[in-house]
């Protein structure tokens, strides 16, 4: 067992409770013994030497620790390691394949979507999650109320005060899978709002994601 | 953080058995609130029972034309579900207005309902707080209460409930299904949460060991239009300063029926019954909407730093109702 996870523990407290488990990270299996209190973020950084995910706030407020669990973006600082032993985890280190950059990584470079780079791994994993969510037709708060093909009043969100409210009785969404959501700047900004950038690289980040989404 | 045992049962029965009536055992949903509070030392359970595999995670139509949402459904899945977007768009809006994409992928319906207040003193164990440590006092009253309650608070606590989803569920009249050591029962929203009174440590009416298993939505009301709107300090990823969830039915320019709930104004999602009573049978005009809002907010007892929330609640409520009425 190498490294010291940096969750702080009270020395006077009763003995830690540890669990042996296998973590699947970036297509590799890691056998680890973890304290039940340990977060996925601390395990990745402290034990697996996967230091891409960053600890910005440790409270779910900044998104720097974002990773994908079963392909969905989550904050690893509020995820207990013991709770994901049966899941598939992808970190920024595993985003690309076969040594090649992920298209988002390439676009981030092309668009100068970073300055210090601290938030970047979280931005990239979050953006990968956004692309998947939009492709699956998930709405955001700024998605128009009536997505293409839907009934006049169905679905959608309240962002635009001028938009007509919808009718709960109008069950008019078409059957079948929802249409993918087109990711314009407003959609990207809303969907990425869980990722803060202290350097203010937002314009580049939005442009990079928009390019990959096209 | 105190060491804890971790269990992950796969059925509700196992989860209940692992918990019993012990107050040292806590259920774990997505962990987005609980892990944070444990790290801050606000709560320190000896055992966590992870219910993300045990609590139902499906959305199903009920025979009566409503929906039954499993307590284990993630917030992101709930907002994207076609049946929710179709029949209860206001609920989808409320969920999407909360937290971030990452947090919504983690947060469960059960955990969202039972999240604790964001009062800064509650989260800071170096400060007194009647909710966290009964009898120690409430520093928020004389301190920072800008975002705390204007309605229904007590001398012992002025906290607000932070959930956006719960406000929509209160306006929809959802039923919360609960199972526990004493059997199963159903709690109609907004009755799940309680006003602080002399026991601000009790957020809800649930007994120790009780598990939320599902939330049942009544059938959509024919002719009813609905909307959730949230005023906050930044455009996204921020808790509500005031929110409004409303369902309005207008017929021939007259309000036939309505259901209204206000968020971030009280210890509970605040069902605006006085406003509803004032509106039923009244002309659907901005003037009447203002009168109804005033009827509701007559009971407001704002604190020095949150006086603005009374006007904000009034304006937001009038705006939402006017938008709903105009769309006819
Ligand atoms: C940075 C940040 C911003 C946020 N912004 C918003 C916002 O704008 N609007 C908003 O509404 N929310 C917001 N939230 C709060 C978020 O919505 C809640 O943390 C989340 O919904 C809690 O769900 P969970 O499953 O993670 O609960 P957990 O953290 O796992 O649990 C919360 C509580 O519920 C109990 N519990 C969990 N499941 C059950 C069950 N089935 N039966 C009985 N008890 C149960 C737990 O024991 C615990 O006490 C924010 C959170 C963060 C961290
Ligand atoms: S308002 Fe309630 S939660 Fe906040 S300090 Fe007072 S007692 Fe505690
Ligand atoms: S470190 Fe996890 S959200 Fe900030
Ligand atoms: S690039 Fe520095 S925080 Fe985003």
Express each pLDDT in A62-84 by its tens digit: 999 999 999 999 999 999 999 99
Is 70 exceeded by the pLDDT of residue A151? no
Give the 3-state secondary structure of chain B.
CCCCEEECCCCHHHHHHHHCCCCCEEEECCCCCHHHHHHCCCCCCCEEEECCCCCCCCEEECCCCCEEEECCCEHHHHHHCHHHHHHCHHHHHHHHCCCCHHHHHHCEHHHHHCCCCCCCCCCCCCCCCCCCCCCCCCCCCCCCCCCCCCCCCCCCCCCCCCCCHHHHHHHHCCEEEEEECCEEEEEECCCCECCCCCCCCCCECCCCCCEEEEEEECCCCCCCEEEEEEEECCCCCCCEEEEEEEEEEEECCEEEEEEEEEECCCCCCEECHHHHHHHCCCECCHHHHHHHHHHHHCCCCCCCCCCHHHHHHHHHHHHHHHHHHHCC
What pLDDT is recorded for position B278? 98
Structure tokens at A101: 């950059």
Q: Name the residue of chain A whose CA is nearest to B324's CA.
A: A165
The Cα–Cα gap between A190 and B50 comes to 30
What pLDDT is recorded for position B103? 98
Q: Does ligand 1 come within 6 angstroms of the Cβ of A60?
A: yes
Is 70 exceeded by the pLDDT of residue A176? no
Q: Name the residue of chain B whose CA is nearest to A150's CA.
A: B86
Min Cα separation B96/chain A (Å): 5
| Candidate from B31, B49, B105, B110 with most ligand 1 atoms within 8 A of CB, to mutate | B110
What's the rounded mean pLDDT across residues B37-51?
A: 98
Q: Which pTM was predicted?
A: 0.94
Inter-residue contact B239 to A178 (CB < 8 Å) = no
Strands B25-28 and B254-263: unpaired
Express each pLDDT in A122-136 by its tens digit: 999 999 999 999 999
Is 70 exceeded by the pLDDT of residue A1? no
Min Cα separation A125/chain B (Å): 10
Structure tokens at B201: 């440590």
Length of chain B: 328
Is 70 exceeded by the pLDDT of residue A88? yes
> Which residue's alpha carbon is at the smallest distance from atom 8 of ligand 2?
B129
Which of the pair, B14 or A151, is modelled with greater confidence?
B14
B35 to A80: CB separation less than 8 angstroms, yes or no: yes
Number of cross-chain residue pairs from A and B with Cβ atoms under 8 Å apart: 181
Is 50 exceeded by the pLDDT of residue B17? yes
The Cα–Cα gap between A208 and B16 comes to 48
What residues of chain A lie within 8 A of the CB of B87, using their CB? Answer: 168, 171
Strands A28-35 and A18-25: antiparallel
A168 to B327: CB separation less than 8 angstroms, yes or no: no
Min Cα separation A47/chain B (Å): 19
Q: Which of residues 85-104 of B touch A (CB under 8 A)?
A: 85-90, 92-93, 96-97, 99-103
The Cα–Cα gap between A61 and A196 comes to 8
ipTM: 0.96
Inter-residue contact A101 to A120 (CB < 8 Å) = no
Structure tokens at B265: 């104004």
Q: Does ligand 4 come within 6 angstroms of the Cβ of A113?
A: no
| Three-state secondary structure call for residue A52 | coil
Is 60 exceeded by the pLDDT of residue B118? yes
> How many of the other CB atoms lie within 10 Å of CB of A185?
12
Residue A202 CA to ligand 4 centre (angstroms)? 9
List the single range of A24-38, A146-160, B28-42, B296-310 with lowest mean pLDDT.
Answer: A146-160
Express each pLDDT in B181-209 by its tens digit: 999 999 999 999 999 999 999 999 999 99
Ligand nearest to the backbone CA of A55 = 3
Question: Pseudo-torsion of CA B52, A72, A204, B237, nearest 10°?
Answer: -20
Highest-confidence segment of A5-14, A173-182, B80-89: B80-89
B2 to A14: CB separation less than 8 angstroms, yes or no: yes
Q: Does B217 touch chain A (CB under 8 A)?
A: no
Min Cα separation B94/chain A (Å): 9
The Cα–Cα gap between A154 and A152 comes to 6
For residue A98, the 8-state DSSP code is T
Q: Which of residues 7-26 of B touch A (CB under 8 A)?
A: 8
What pLDDT is recorded for position A12? 62
Share of residues in chain B with pLDDT > 70 (%): 99
> How many of the other CB atoms lie within 10 Å of CB of B63?
5
Question: Which residue carries 């929710």 as its tokens?
Answer: B84
What pLDDT is recorded for position A6? 55
B225-326 placed in CATH 3.30.390.50: yes
Is 60 exceeded by the pLDDT of residue A149? no
Share of residues in chain A with pLDDT > 90 (%): 76
Ligand nearest to the backbone CA of A114 = 4
Inter-residue contact B320 to A162 (CB < 8 Å) = no
The Cα–Cα gap between B328 and B325 comes to 6
The Cα–Cα gap between B160 and B111 comes to 16
**Where do the structural domains in chain B lie, given as residue ranges?**
225-326
Length of chain A: 214
Residue A178: pLDDT band with limits 50, 70, 90:
confident
The Cα–Cα gap between A93 and A79 comes to 19
Min Cα separation B183/chain A (Å): 28
Q: Does ligand 4 come within 6 angstroms of the Cβ of A198?
A: yes
CA A76 to chain centre: 9
What pLDDT is recorded for position A144? 85
The pocket around ligand 2, CB under 6 angstroms, is made up of: B 117, 119, 121-122, 129-131, 138-140, 148, 157-159, 200
B48 to A7: CB separation less than 8 angstroms, yes or no: no
Q: Does B214 touch chain A (CB under 8 A)?
A: no
Is 90 exceeded by the pLDDT of residue B105? yes
Q: Does B293 touch chain A (CB under 8 A)?
A: no
Nearest atom (ligand 2) to Cα of B117:
3
């Amino acid at each position: 067992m190498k490294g010291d996870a940096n969750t702080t523990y009270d020395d006077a407290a009763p003995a830690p409770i540890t669990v042996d488990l296998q973590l699947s990270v970036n297509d590799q299996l890691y056998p680890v013994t973890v304290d039940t209190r340990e977060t996925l973020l601390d395990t990745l950084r402290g034990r697996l030497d996967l230091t891409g995910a960053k600890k910005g706030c440790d409270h779910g407020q900044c998104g720097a620790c974002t990773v994908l669990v079963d392909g969905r973006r989550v904050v690893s600082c509020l995820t207990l390691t013991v709770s994901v032993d049966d899941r598939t985890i992808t970190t920024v280190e595993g985003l690309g394949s076969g040594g090649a950059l992920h298209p988002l990584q390439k676009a981030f470079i092309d668009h100068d979507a970073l300055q210090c780079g601290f938030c970047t791994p979280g931005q990239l994993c979050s953006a990968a999650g956004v692309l998947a969510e939009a492709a699956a037709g998930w709405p955001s708060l700024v998605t128009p109320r009536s997505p293409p093909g839907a009934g006049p009043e169905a679905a959608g969100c309240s962002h635009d005060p001028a938009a007509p409210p919808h009718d709960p009785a109008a069950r008019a969404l078409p059957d079948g899978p929802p249409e993918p959501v087109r990711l314009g700047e407003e959609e990207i900004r809303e969907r990425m709002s869980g990722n803060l950038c202290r350097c203010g690289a937002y314009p580049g980040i939005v442009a990079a994601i928009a390019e990959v989404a096209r | 953080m105190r060491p804890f045992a971790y269990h992950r049962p796969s059925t509700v029965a196992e989860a209940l058995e692992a918990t019993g009536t012990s107050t040292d055992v806590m259920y774990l949903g997505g962990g987005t609130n609980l892990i944070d509070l444990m790290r801050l030392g606000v709560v320190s359970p000896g055992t966590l029972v992870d219910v993300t595999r045990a609590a139902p995670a499906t959305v199903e139509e009920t025979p009566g034309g409503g929906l039954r949402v499993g307590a284990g459904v993630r917030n992101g899945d709930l907002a994207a579900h076609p049946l929710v977007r179709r029949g209860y768009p206001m609920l989808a809006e409320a969920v999407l207005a909360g937290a971030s994409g990452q947090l919504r992928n983690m947060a469960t319906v059960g955990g969202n309902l039972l999240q604790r207040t964001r009062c800064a003193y509650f989260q800071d164990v170096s400060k007194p707080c009647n909710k966290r440590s009964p009898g120690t006092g409430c520093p928020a009253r004389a301190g920072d209460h800008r975002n705390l309650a204007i309605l229904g608070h007590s001398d012992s606590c002025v906290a607000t409930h932070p959930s956006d989803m719960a406000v929509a569920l209160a306006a929809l009249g959802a039923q919360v299904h609960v199972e526990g050591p004493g059997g199963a029962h159903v709690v109609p929203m907004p009755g799940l949460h309680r006003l602080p009174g002399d026991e601000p440590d009790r957020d809800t009416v649930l007994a120790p060991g009780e598990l939320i298993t599902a939330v049942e939505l009544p059938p959509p009301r024919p002719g009813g239009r609905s909307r959730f709107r949230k005023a906050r300090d930044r455009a996204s990823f921020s808790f509500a300063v005031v929110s409004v969830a409303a369902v309005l039915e207008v017929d021939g320019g007259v309000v036939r029926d309505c259901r209204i709930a206000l968020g971030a104004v009280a210890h509970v999602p605040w069902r605006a019954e006085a406003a509803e009573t004032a509106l039923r049978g009244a002309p659907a005009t901005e003037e009447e909407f203002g009168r109804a809002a005033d009827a509701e907010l007559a009971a407001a007892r704002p604190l020095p730093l949150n006086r603005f929330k009374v006007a904000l609640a009034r304006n937001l409520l009038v705006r939402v109702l006017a938008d709903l009425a105009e769309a006819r």
